Chain A
Amino acid sequence: MRLELRYERLIQATPTRVFDLFTSPAGQRELYGNDAPGWVVDSRCELRVGGAWEIAFGPSPGELYRHRHVFEAIERPRRLLLATTETRLDGSRFPFSTEFTFAPRDGATLMTMTQWGFPSDELRDEHGRGVPHAFDRLERALWA
């Protein structure tokens, strides 16, 4: 079992269009936006392998959450691979991997986002071992 979160959207535009909008400053701000009055999004991106996309977002300048994505692969317009670090309110950090793929699908784009590498990734099955009941419960929670 690999603990993996996957999201898909069928977007009515070509992969190149979706990829370019996704990596544009406006698209990046939109991703972390919110309609709440006063919502803050500060996005800074250096779109190159090894470059960082850093986002601070939240309900006010005094209450900001932070994501830092480091580009590990940029394959326009097909794929982005990011090493993501989520910084918690207490300052501790939570790293995981994030991959975006943009596949043509009937004139549109199937955009897929996959996240893995959570600390729980270590829970994956081991050869020759059964799966503890507790894992079944966690997996059900993941895929509910």
Chain B
Amino acid sequence: MAFSSLRPEHGRHYVGRAPEGGQSYTEPIGALSLTLDATFFALSDPTRRGILERLSRGSATLSQLAGPSGLTLNGIKKHVGILELAGLVETEKIGRVRECRLGPATTLGEAGEWIEAHRRAWEGRLDRFERFVERAR
């Protein structure tokens, strides 16, 4: 999915995690949420991984994040925005600065849930094939 297809709604970015009553993921595999795509996209960039690494040690302002990365403030804003869309980072305007911190773990949780559902589907298929071979003896 192209990142550009992620759209903000009502001034806030909802990416994948559907509001209450939204459609939930069920097997068989097929209906991936936007969150999973957004998570994988966000984590695919080394700069963004570095930002997460930094934020795992505590919150930081955009300027503090930009310093060690060698990026401009605008550059770091872009990366933080992508991480924010994926729910990996939260930002809050405090006075004249914007503070960043790790986002809710539910985003990665959903990625983990998808992988687990994928695993369960294949485990079931292999179980079924094993029984088939036993019957075919």
Contact = CB atoms under 8 A, between A and B. Distances in A.
B41 interface: yes
Contact of A133 (B32, B52, B113, B118): B52
A120 B43 CA distance: 7
Nearest to A66: B30
Contacts of A32: 125
A113 B126 contact: yes
B40 A120 contact: yes
Given A130-B53, A134-B108, A113 B122 contact: yes
Interface string A100-144: 000000000001010100111011001001111111011011101
B129 A13 contact: no
B43 A27 contact: no
Nearest to B46: A126
A129 B49 contact: yes
- Interface SS majority for chain A: mixed
A11 B133 contact: yes
Contacts of A7: 119, 122-123, 126
A86 interface: yes
Contact of B116 (A111, A126, A144): A144
Contacts of A134: 43, 49, 52, 56, 88, 102, 108
Interface string B1-42: 100000000000000000000000000111110000101110
Interface string A17-59: 1100110001100111100000000000000000000000110
A88 B31 contact: yes
19 contacts: A3-B115, A9-B127, A9-B129, A11-B134, A12-B133, A13-B137, A30-B128, A89-B31, A122-B40, A122-B44, A123-B43, A123-B49, A129-B50, A129-B53, A130-B53, A132-B49, A133-B102, A134-B88, A141-B116
Interface of A: 3, 5, 7, 9, 11-13, 17-18, 21-22, 26-27, 30-33, 57-58, 65, 86-90, 92, 94, 111, 113, 115, 118-120, 122-123, 126, 129-135, 137-138, 140-142, 144
